[in-house]
Structure 1
Amino acid sequence: MVQTADAGPSLEPEARGPDAAAALARAWDLKQQCYAAWTSAPQRAAEAAADLQQLADASPGLDEVQALARWTAGVVRLNQGRMAEAVAQLDAAAALWQRLGRPLEAAQTQVPKVMALSMLGQHDQAEACGAAARQVFVSLGDLAAASRLSLNLGSMHMRRDDHADAARHYRQAAVLFARARDTEHSVMADIGLGDALSAQADFDEAARIYSRARMRAGQHGLPLMQALADESMALLDLARGHYDAALAGLERARRSYAQLALPQHSAIAEKQLADAYLALHLLPEALALYDRALAAMAALDMPDDRAWTALQRGRALSGLGQPPLAAQALAEAATQFAAQASVPGQAAVALAQAELALDRAATLAPARPVGQGTVPAGDAGAAPAAQAQGHAAQAAVLFTQAGQPEGAVRAALVEADALLRQGDAGAARVLYARSLRQAQALHARGLQIRGQAGVGLAALAQGDDGAAARALQAAVERFESQWRALPGDELRGAFFADHLAPYQGLLALALQAHDAQPGNATASRVLQRLDSVRARALAERLRAGAAPGDDAEADALRARLQWLHRRLQRQADEGSPTASLAETLHRAERDLLEQVRRQRLARPVVPGASRGHLSVPALRAALQPADALVVQARLGDELLVCIVRRRGVQVLRRVASVEAVQAAWRLARFQLDALRHGAAPLQDQLPLLERRVQQRLQALHALVWAPLADALTDARRVLLVPAEGLAGLPFAALHDGLTCLAQRHLLAQAPSVQVALHGLQRPPVPPTRVLALGESSRLPHAGAEAAQVAALFPQGQAFTGTDASLAVLQQHAAEADVLHLACHAQFRGDNPMFSALHLHDGPLTAERAEALRLRAGTVVLSACETGLAGHAGRDEQVGLVRAFLVAGAARVLASLWPVDDAITAVFMDHFYRGLQRGLSPAQALGDAQTAVMCRHPHPAFWSGFVLFGGW
């Protein structure tokens, strides 16, 4: 939002002696310096005001100097976001000018006061102040001052959401400033006019005006105007669904405001970047920015912006599954909007309440898989869905009253969602179609995707498969272009998780076609649809290769993190770790991720080539006759499996109940965890514990593997893509009562079929150069293990003790065919990017491991729980395995649970001797499992290591 605090021309000082004349001349010169710099160089403006205050202190008898000092002090306070202080200083200046019989200068001080009152939410007072000042300007013939006041009144009307009146004031101001050749204020008026047009959904004209304003600001060296134009254009891009351009523009504006030391603008920029995160479903990060912005706005007296920020914070809390806190935030926003009589604000609250009610409906009665009928009349979520419909309808009416068609379309889409949730697919389809037409007229890409997907889902619920397929495919194609343009895996993963519905609808259609006419063609289509939502961000990252490095600020944050880790470790070693230091460290981690994210936002995004569908022929060609790819998927409570062989694709429906599988896995995991802290105290009970765990694993085998047995009879190598929530199962230990899977198949895992194909086409290089690090200061056996591994290879290098460091790893890792890391590890469920391997001089986090440049070799993580992963979105797994795959490794061997030190040393000896003999990683893993199994049959000892990426 644009603002001005310009003043009229100075007057010649009265002759009061040479000293007084010099002081007055100096005072007016400083005042002009302050005004000249207040938008382009706020620090220089503040310095000029400070010098003027010193002059006033030295000239207590010169009221004119005192008035000028108060005037500039008010402008600087306004610049600093200290609005109440600004009003007080400007009123004091006006009173002095009135006492001096100078009504023009007194009126000029009220121009910035209009701005300050508006920012304080005192709109009626601002309107009255502006009208009185304008009357003075007109009566005295100062039309330039009147035009500046029109500019500020336009900004005030924008803050009140009176967009038509705001546009009128801005147009008037723009014409007058252009005639007066006042470029700076003319650019301000253009930006304000663009804002008003954008709010009225005249997007094309707004975009044209923003582009012109930014070009003129650049030509005339007006950095603040450039930042304002960037910010406004970014908000327009956000409304239209151009997320890549929106993120880049918001980050450019935020950096400019920070450099110009404008806290008020910076607080608003933080809120707007949070809005972009919210739109992309990056919810924890959005919430953190809203909290930061609210704190700044509270200190800067910004009640209007606080209301909007509280509203958006409530929406983020709702998305994070915290309805009580969300309702509280929405209630706070509603109270503030009611006090301001803001119709758009009240509309936005009603829409947020509709979204919250719809979330509650889904929680009470989770939606059925797409295409499996409408919602039953007795659905527990029917009542909140009806409430959502009512709130959304109210919001649509209010947005229409406020002249905000984009908001009205958004509300109509939520109303349609509620209708579909209640089973009224016909009414929902009509409303989706109408909203889609309106979104197309507005050129709002994000709303077009939602409308197109809604039409498809409603048509699917009605059994109109042809129309459903066309609409859903159109929604997917529109979404893909948005998704691919986003910078970074994190944004892509979060955004994808919020747009699964059209993909799920197309999967439902593919399954219907296969059920009606089973065959290789329909089964291949099911496989393509299944994989279209699996680890998409990782697949694209592997295809794209190494990402650019980060900036100095990110590296400085990493250095600080290393220092905090070392300090926390020292406290732990001394037995006195503090919660405050741990929280400081976690806060530094969040700051680092945000800094890296913002740096990526500031880079231009070059979208890659279209990914297209999974090539099933290429996948089948990559498999040998004795190979099989087993792809699990979860559809509601159904476990679905696709089996890919060189000879074709097979789909197995209703293999098991997912709920039953998860219950069986919990029981098996309980038995495995009995040895979590070592077997020594339980030696006498090991036979009993082994029988119990075998019973549980046999039950799991009956559920997830026995139904596949006929299709896998001749499969020697099996590559698994586990279903959501089942990646941690020890598939190697599942057995039928006679043999376990490790005795029948060579097993490996991948998070998606695309990643599996990437691994099949990229076998690991032969193990010649081996780099082994063993952090033995805290893990005594690790040094001996690393030395033992390195000794097996002619070009093996072992670094132990103090040499097992990050510096050594970064120096030698790029040359290694095999990288062996024996050390303590920590899985961070709260922030998987900071899961870490603890080397001598600090942790190698997943965030840092991604930046390693590795050969297409094998990485062995000989530590506890290195194979665990958190979830970014539904099917994006984040952890150490992913990090090393991103870094370039072809295969990663990692553990699912804490491993016994002595037995692991034996296991690794067998594994590496297998590699030394020329076995593949999967063959070497099978040999090691068999060897350990013979002496230590309990699965906790031998089945915890899993090979990721391929065989």
Structure 2
Amino acid sequence: MMSGSESVLELLPMVFAVPGEALARAQTLLRTGPSPLDASVAHQVIGIWQRDFGDLRLALRHLRRARALAARARSAEREADVLATLGVALVHAGRTRQGLDAFEQGVARGTGHTRARVLYRRAYVWWVLGRHREALEDVRRAVPVLRQAGDVIWTARALTLRATVHLALGAVERADADFTAAEALWDTTGQEHDKADAVESRGLAAFRRGDIPAALRLLDEAEERYAKLGTPTFMLNIRRCEVLMAAGLAPEALAEADGAIAELDRLGGQSTRKAELLLVAARAARLTEDPNTAIARAAQAVRLFTGQRRAWWETHARLVLLEARVAAGRRSGRLVADAATVAERLAAFGSPAAPEASLLAGRIALALGRSAEAERHLAVAARSRLGGPPLARITGWAAQALRARAAGSNRGVLEACRRGLDVLDDHRMTLGASELRARATAQGAELAALAQQAALASGRPRRLLTWSERWRATVLTAPPTRPPADPALLSGLTAFREIAARAEQARRDGHPVPALEREQRRLEREIRSRTLHLRGEAPGGGDRFDAGRLLRRLGETRLVELAVVDGQVHVLLCGQGRVRRFTAGRLDRAVAEAEHVQAGLRRLAHPGAQARLPLVEAAGRRLEELLLGPAVRHLGTGPVVVVPPGSLHRVPWALLPSLRERVVSVSPSASSWLRARETEPPPGGRTVLVRGPGLATGGAEVPELAGRHGAPVVLEKDTAHVARVLRELDGAELAHIAAHGAFRADSPLFSSLTMADGPLIVHDFERLTRSPYRIVLSCCDTARFASVGADELLGLVTALLPLGTAGVVACSAPVNDEAVVPLMLALHKGLGAGLSLAEALRDARAALPDDATHQATGWAFTAFGAA
């Protein structure tokens, strides 16, 4: 049992070392009938716990009681300390004036060391309110006194706060210095909650430096520390949402913010945190192209910030509200004026977001035809292109591109877009995970679109081709960072595989699987989190596209790149030493027609659907008109390579009449095709045949193929487990995998092939030193992708291409398993005769029986790459 006021005071630092224990001891103390001074400490401890981790109304009740008891004990120092704690709670409750009044009284009553602690907490409140200059002034006054008193804990807190304020003002180097000094002090204490907060703050600093993998790693580490203490993590939620949005993971950020808001409401927690969570939710909703949700969240945030007298935060919320209204289609002179006002206020605050507001004002003014007004705002926004973090410079280059377009300078537009995309290239290549690289390209979507519009207006097809390639399938320009031999990651992958296999077996047996599915989702989050921590190794933005090199390598082949500008499909036909442009149809109509074709192919996979064959063929003719237009008459007689945009990745190109009897392959980009064409097969010529479990035909082609390929490695039954399959695939010349495929639209890098011990996922393939030179995937849904970022594709095939695979045959639709067997046998016959994958697939289709099911099966398979 606690006794004596000096020992009771030890409860206060315990709140941020072992919060639960501090709460329990304070409650126990109150049951012993303590003195007013000791009871004041106990109520303050309970108030702090409720303020930060529980119900804010209860916090205020305990803190007011703590103040009354301090006054009864006639301790001015004790009363000053409680007033500071009460002031923080009042501000978090949205009662800003009352909170600041409490601080005035606390500063007046405290002296020396106590007053320095009060000043630190008032500095924290100034930061919460967005009044950064006042925050820095109070920290400046507090730190020397705290240091002189040898108060390590409060000095470290003050330095951490000052670093956080510097970050809000964009002074990253000053923040780093303070974080380093604070961390050295924290290492000498047992303040576990404060240590977790320091790790979280370092994550924020990494984010401000543009190091997203490090930011995610540090925030995850902080979350683990908080979890051990059993404390909520609302500030961490806010910061992680910011990082997720910068990484292109806005849907995840919106889900996390909304979940945190619901939890905060359940607890009756701080309204200041709720307002901040609403703001990040609004930003995330805007980035996910949900302007109505963004408007609702931002408007609620504005109301809360206004009531809390938090002008800095309110102004940022107004910026998001304006952006969401513009995204919803609103344009008016009033919006221009409002955006300009927000930009001025943000600049006065020293906020790095000021250029975004100026860019918004300029963009609206341009749409309204107010050229002079637009130029004024865009010129201000364009200044940010010269320095600062990557996303701020990209904003500046976007403004510069719009200025050049308004001035009629195509050259100026292209130069600004080039410079802006170079910045994003450098930023993107610091990311090790292919998912982050792909999603980060969304930041350059506007620059890429402006460049393509300018290239089209120039009337030079080769220029349009170059810019179409500039921001297409860039994730394939360099391999993802190979995951290290991380025991935790490998253990997580093994556990995930085991749980997934158990869940699948339970489903087949008709048993409920909610618990297994929950554990599978948990393991997926853990694996994904660890892969997102990887930092990129490749410098720069990868290879630059060279149209001349492409044309020299094509020979008799024609490459058809489909560039989409303002929703219109433009066919760039490359061959015979030149690039020609043809105008085809509208993208939205082509996407809708492609979905109809996919539905038709699914029906034709089942016997008895012969009557639907003419409908599918008619849809193929419509697709040809929409996608190729007049270019059809200029394709020549040689092989054709199609480079479609991401939204058309599921088109069965062999269904189009002009391509049906041709050698056709598909590539995510012309650059990717070039790399595949120039990839040399590995030495040794090893062939690997894999047969997974549960196939309707039992993978009937595999035994026969084993007899055709000399001495292949055959993996089936118990030998077809993931570790062995990966070991044999690494560096093979040819691999044939007959296994169930599953595409995960929600998380494409968990798309899988079913092996004996569970799913082989895309993350597994990324661990290969070199993926097989050629791969044949004879199962359904292996050629499905998720379209993310600007024009990126995530899926099984795109994971293989940067890792050394030059050619893949895969399927984009459900197919008839029995019809697949003769197709695969005929395909391998062609490969044995020395044909490429595309040539062998063309001949294999022609060799199939002439019925609807076999024809649909042939159309559903596509050759990717150039091998």
Task: Please say whether Structure 1 and Structure 2 have the same fold, judged by a TM-score greater than 0.5.
Answer: yes
Matches within 5 A, 1:130-145: 130-137=103-110, 142-145=111-114
Distance 2:649 2:851 in 1: 27
Distance 1:23 1:724 in 2: 67
1:650 corresponds to which of 576, 579, 593: 579
1:733 aligned partner: 655
Distance 1:670 1:182 in 2: 70
2:775 aligned partner: 859
Query: 1:227·1:256 contact (CA, 8 Å) conserved in 2?
Result: yes
Quote the offset at 1:274 in angstroms.
Answer: 0.4
Distance 1:120 1:284 in 2: 29
Distance 1:30 1:452 in 2: 59
DSSP 3-state at the match of 1:794: coil
Are residues 627 and 63 of structure 1, via their aligned partners in 2, closer, same or farther at CA, if it must alter by over 3 Å?
A: same
Distance 1:595 1:330 in 2: 31
Are residues 420 and 757 of structure 1, via their aligned partners in 2, closer, same or farther at CA, if it must alter by over 3 Å?
A: same
User: Which stretch of structure 1 is more off in the superposition, 295-304 or 99-108?
Assistant: 99-108
1:413 aligned partner: 359
Quote the offset at 1:120 in angstroms.
Answer: 3.0
Matches within 5 A, 1:281-320: 281-298=248-265, 299=267, 301-320=269-288
Matches within 5 A, 1:345-356: 345-356=313-324
DSSP 3-state at the match of 2:700: helix
Quote the offset at 1:756 in angstroms.
Answer: 1.1
- Opposite residue 645 of structure 2, the aligned amino acid is A
1:713 corresponds to which of 630, 636, 661: 636
Are residues 826 and 172 of structure 1, via their aligned partners in 2, closer, same or farther at CA, if it must alter by over 3 Å?
A: same
Answer yes or no: is 1:460 the counterpart of 2:405.
Answer: yes
Cα deviations by residue, 1:478-534 (Å, 9 ceiling, x for unpaired):
332222223422222222123222233333333444x2xxxxxx6544322111111
1:881 corresponds to which of 793, 797, 810: 797
DSSP 3-state at the match of 2:648: coil
Quote the offset at 1:670 in angstroms.
Answer: 5.6
Query: 1:640·1:653 contact (CA, 8 Å) conserved in 2?
Result: yes
Answer yes or no: is 1:163 the counterpart of 2:132.
Answer: yes
- Opposite residue 604 of structure 2, the aligned amino acid is L
Query: 2:163·2:176 contact (CA, 8 Å) conserved in 1?
Result: yes
Matches within 5 A, 1:269-284: 269-284=236-251
Quote the offset at 1:721 in angstroms.
Answer: 1.2
Are residues 440 and 337 of structure 1, via their aligned partners in 2, closer, same or farther at CA, if it must alter by over 3 Å?
A: same
User: Percent of counterpart pairs with the same letter?
Assistant: 23
Answer yes or no: is 1:535 the counterpart of 2:458.
Answer: no
1:368 aligned partner: none
Distance 2:97 2:585 in 1: 66
Cα deviations by residue, 1:699-739 (Å, 9 ceiling, x for unpaired):
44455457345654252x33221234333222223225xxx
Quote the offset at 1:353 in angstroms.
Answer: 2.0
Output the TM-score relative to the length of structure 2. 0.89
Quote the offset at 1:552 in angstroms.
Answer: 1.6
Distance 2:622 2:72 in 1: 93
DSSP 3-state at the match of 2:744: coil
Query: 2:257·2:277 contact (CA, 8 Å) conserved in 1?
Result: yes
Matches within 5 A, 1:331-410: 331-361=299-329, 383-384=330-331, 388-399=335-346, 403-410=349-356
Answer yes or no: is 1:641 the counterpart of 2:579.
Answer: no
Q: Any unmatched runs of 5+ in structure 2?
A: none
**Which structure carries more relative contact order (alpha carbon 8 Å, separation 6+)?**
2
Query: 2:743·2:752 contact (CA, 8 Å) conserved in 1?
Result: yes
Are residues 344 and 789 of structure 1, via their aligned partners in 2, closer, same or farther at CA, if it must alter by over 3 Å?
A: same
- Opposite residue 720 of structure 1, the aligned amino acid is V
DSSP 3-state at the match of 1:864: coil
2:159 aligned partner: 190
- Opposite residue 154 of structure 2, the aligned amino acid is H
Query: 1:850·1:886 contact (CA, 8 Å) conserved in 2?
Result: no
2:436 aligned partner: 491
1:510 corresponds to which of 455, 465, 468: 455
1:115 aligned partner: 88
Cα deviations by residue, 1:179-200 (Å, 9 ceiling, x for unpaired):
3343432333233334445545
2:562 aligned partner: 632
Distance 2:760 2:535 in 1: 29
- Opposite residue 655 of structure 2, the aligned amino acid is A
Are residues 309 and 806 of structure 1, via their aligned partners in 2, closer, same or farther at CA, if it must alter by over 3 Å?
A: same
DSSP 3-state at the match of 2:298: helix
Answer yes or no: is 1:179 the counterpart of 2:148.
Answer: yes
DSSP 3-state at the match of 1:943: helix
Matches within 5 A, 1:451-850: 451-513=396-458, 515=459, 523-541=461-479, 546-549=482-485, 552=488, 555-556=491-492, 559-560=495-496, 562-564=498-500, 566-574=502-510, 585=517, 591-592=522-523, 594-600=525-531, 602-603=533-534, 605-611=536-542, 613-623=544-554, 625-645=555-575, 647-658=576-587, 661-662=590-591, 665=594, 668-669=597-598, 671-676=600-605, 678-679=606-607, 681-682=608-609, 686=610, 689-702=612-625, 704-705=627-628, 707-709=630-632, 711-715=634-638, 717-736=639-658, 741-743=659-661, 745-765=662-682, 768-776=685-693, 778-801=694-717, 804-814=720-730, 816-850=732-766
DSSP 3-state at the match of 2:736: strand
Distance 1:288 1:594 in 2: 14
Q: Any unmatched runs of 5+ in structure 1?
A: 1-21, 362-382, 516-521
Query: 1:719·1:750 contact (CA, 8 Å) conserved in 2?
Result: yes
DSSP 3-state at the match of 1:326: helix
Query: 2:706·2:714 contact (CA, 8 Å) conserved in 1?
Result: yes
Distance 2:416 2:98 in 1: 52
Query: 1:769·1:817 contact (CA, 8 Å) conserved in 2?
Result: yes
DSSP 3-state at the match of 2:657: coil
- Opposite residue 565 of structure 2, the aligned amino acid is L
Query: 2:604·2:853 contact (CA, 8 Å) conserved in 1?
Result: no
Corresponding residue pairs, total: 865
Distance 1:933 1:939 in 2: 8
Are residues 734 and 93 of structure 1, via their aligned partners in 2, closer, same or farther at CA, if it must alter by over 3 Å?
A: closer
Cα deviations by residue, 1:520-558 (Å, 9 ceiling, x for unpaired):
xx65443221111111112222xx563435562684376
- Opposite residue 392 of structure 1, the aligned amino acid is A
1:433 corresponds to which of 357, 362, 379: 379
Are residues 564 and 302 of structure 1, via their aligned partners in 2, closer, same or farther at CA, if it must alter by over 3 Å?
A: farther
1:909 aligned partner: 825
Are residues 808 and 411 of structure 1, via their aligned partners in 2, closer, same or farther at CA, if it must alter by over 3 Å?
A: same
- Opposite residue 499 of structure 2, the aligned amino acid is W
Are residues 489 and 593 of structure 1, via their aligned partners in 2, closer, same or farther at CA, if it must alter by over 3 Å?
A: farther
Cα deviations by residue, 1:303-322 (Å, 9 ceiling, x for unpaired):
10111111221232233233
Are residues 220 and 714 of structure 1, via their aligned partners in 2, closer, same or farther at CA, if it must alter by over 3 Å?
A: same
DSSP 3-state at the match of 2:116: helix
DSSP 3-state at the match of 1:630: strand
2:3 aligned partner: 24
Quote the offset at 1:413 in angstroms.
Answer: 1.5
| RMSD of aligned alpha carbons | 3.6
User: Which stretch of structure 1 is more off in the superposition, 292-301 or 891-900?
Assistant: 292-301
Query: 2:500·2:759 contact (CA, 8 Å) conserved in 1?
Result: no
Quote the offset at 1:649 in angstroms.
Answer: 3.0
Are residues 97 and 323 of structure 1, via their aligned partners in 2, closer, same or farther at CA, if it must alter by over 3 Å?
A: closer
Query: 2:826·2:847 contact (CA, 8 Å) conserved in 1?
Result: yes
User: Which stretch of structure 1 is more off in the superposition, 504-513 or 150-159?
Assistant: 504-513
DSSP 3-state at the match of 1:946: strand
Are residues 605 and 935 of structure 1, via their aligned partners in 2, closer, same or farther at CA, if it must alter by over 3 Å?
A: closer
Cα deviations by residue, 1:434-466 (Å, 9 ceiling, x for unpaired):
2223x3688354233213222222322431234
1:329 aligned partner: 297
Quote the offset at 1:658 in angstroms.
Answer: 3.9
Query: 1:224·1:256 contact (CA, 8 Å) conserved in 2?
Result: no
Query: 1:385·1:421 contact (CA, 8 Å) conserved in 2?
Result: no
Distance 2:169 2:684 in 1: 64
